[in-house]
Amino acid sequence: MNDTDAAAAVQVYTVSMQNEFTALIEKHGEWYVGFCPEIPEANGQGKTVEDCRQNLAEAIALVLQDRREDALRDISNTVLQEKVTIAA
């Protein structure tokens, strides 16, 4: 198989998938501070619980995007790449 054939064989399936994560939020003074035990690098804060939750959700999305980009950075174009959907 040459490079052109290999590139044509790579299939990428884009699936819109919604994930749920745990948000643990505590009040510290005037601020609400939250973190996600499933993704320890992600945390957020806000003056309201909703602001904290939204900030945490954005942090989770950024961490996951960074992990995905880092993991796929040096993948050969001869590797079959597909998305896998996990349903609860």
What does the pLDDT average to over 61-86? 89
- When pLDDT is cut at 50, 70 and 90, the band that residue 10 belongs to is very low
- When pLDDT is cut at 50, 70 and 90, the band that residue 61 belongs to is very high
For 47, the domain range is 20-72
Share of the chain above pLDDT 90, in %: 56
Share of the chain above pLDDT 70, in %: 78
In a domain, 66, yes or no: yes
- Find the DSSP H helices in the chain: 3-9, 49-72
**3-class secondary structure, 74:** coil
**3-class secondary structure, 16:** coil
Count of domains for the chain: 1
pTM beyond 0.75: the answer is no
Whether the predicted pLDDT of 39 surpasses 60: yes
In a domain, 84, yes or no: no
